[in-house]
Structure 1
Amino acid sequence: MDWFRMYGEFATDPKVQMLSEAMQRRLVMLFCLECSNGIETFHVTERETSIAFALRVSEEALAETKETFVRKGFINDDWTLCNWSKRQYVSDSSTARVKAYREKKKAEAQQRETLPKRSSNAPEQNRTDTEQKETPPPHAQEAFDSRTKFAMTEDWQPDGKTFAAVLTMNALGGQVFEQDQFLEFKSFWIASPDEHRTHAKWEHALAQHLKRDQRIQQASGRTTDGHQNTELSRNPQNHQSRGPQGRHQGSARPGPLSAPDRVRAAIAERDAAAAASGSAVGQDG
């Protein structure tokens, strides 16, 4: 939007204030015409006709206006304004700044469009190799981003440090567990490939699994042997690498009782209690 400087002395200048209100308006209109396109842009032979149309006055009124403004020193004989360049400054015009800004933005947009085209000029095989180098394998992504969800795999291992903290938070700190319990947990979830969890969620699920096993063993009257292999809780990965043959001989307790074994154990306990009290067990017992 074009604009020009209009000074406060317009309201106190005797030359201006001695004009009628109509003449003052016409003077301001000349300022606007000069600011917008420049009065000198009007063709000489049609200049007065164009100015009369802009001021909405007749040719007679325009002649009177010109005579008054020339006499007071507001305009020259060709209708150009006197002292206009002294009152206005080149820096006031935002046209040059706006043009430079738009050209800069246009150049930046062209540069952004050119960069992808240049990169696409590379052979397809080279681009594929670059993508493979830049994309880390799934396990590397999981190592760097603990929020990555994944399905259970055969080679998954709980972290020694974090899993020890998880066991403590689940009231299992200092407990020992069999490798079979860990393998049973992985086997169950490998069979459910649609289940995706983060590494921390899998460690928590494993701790809950071990806690349920402990409660089942306690309910069946079995106790935990403190001299069993404790390597799983400290470093499950090392323990698994030893395999089933790597357990401590003589100190490993049997795995969890199956459902039939728990029923047989309950019957045996009832028979032992009946024998101790001297009562006989019926044939249908």
Structure 2
Amino acid sequence: MTTRNRNCWLEIDRRTFLGTTGAASAMTLFGPDVGEAAGGETGRVDVTLTVNGQTRSVTIDPRTSLLDLLRERLALTGAKKGCDHDQRDACTVHLDGWRVATCLTLAVQTEGRTIMTIEELSGPDGELHLMQRAFTDHDALQCGYCTLGQIMATSACVEGGHAGSPEQTCEYMRGHICRCGAYAGIVAAVKDTAVKLRRTGVMKPLAGLSLAPESVSGRPNHRPGHSNVCLQVASMRHDYGVCPHAVECTASSVWSAAT
């Protein structure tokens, strides 16, 4: 192979390489009829939704999650795939003004609805949203993997009126896990943003939407008395399956410690 040919291989980016090899692997394992329903009929459906102000129409497998639709079909990769079962919320976006975990939201449920992702949070000229600036100012991130989901959740927290106190912020955010432990910085960023919005008198709903007074979390209530036990067990064994409420209890404990 010549040097020129070797350089050509280097021009293939990671996403293109993984997408191509993944599709080839699926065809090898499952054959050309992947996605077809029993009886030979294609099980695909048409979905039309508004994403970041643009109307998008796609044909998808009805089992496709909103996360996969955004990332794989619409190339909006700000929502991250962290767990696929709503235990990290790195995939958070706003759906009709409500924060949702896209990994557990079927794309077909968004027919005719409005979605806003982190890509739309900044201004039209690229200026950062107040929450984005606050995360930088208060060092509210480390590895950055969950940061975009955290920013989407905290912006909804502030603009939805859930940032009246650190305790209220922690209660709202308790399902969001930051494995780097940047909770104190996140709470400080929320407080800073809330103060600035109150000072300027600007409380503009995200993307022009009227935010609901409470978010749809879909999570079970935290069980009193489980926090310390679950936190200790999860820390020692790194096993969030020990207690059915372990993830929720652990998240509640670390957020409470941030205050």
TM more than 0.5: no
TM-score by length of 1: 0.23
TM-score by length of 2: 0.25
In proportion to residue count, which structure has more helix? 1
Q: Which has the higher contact order (CA 8 A, sep 6+)?
A: 2
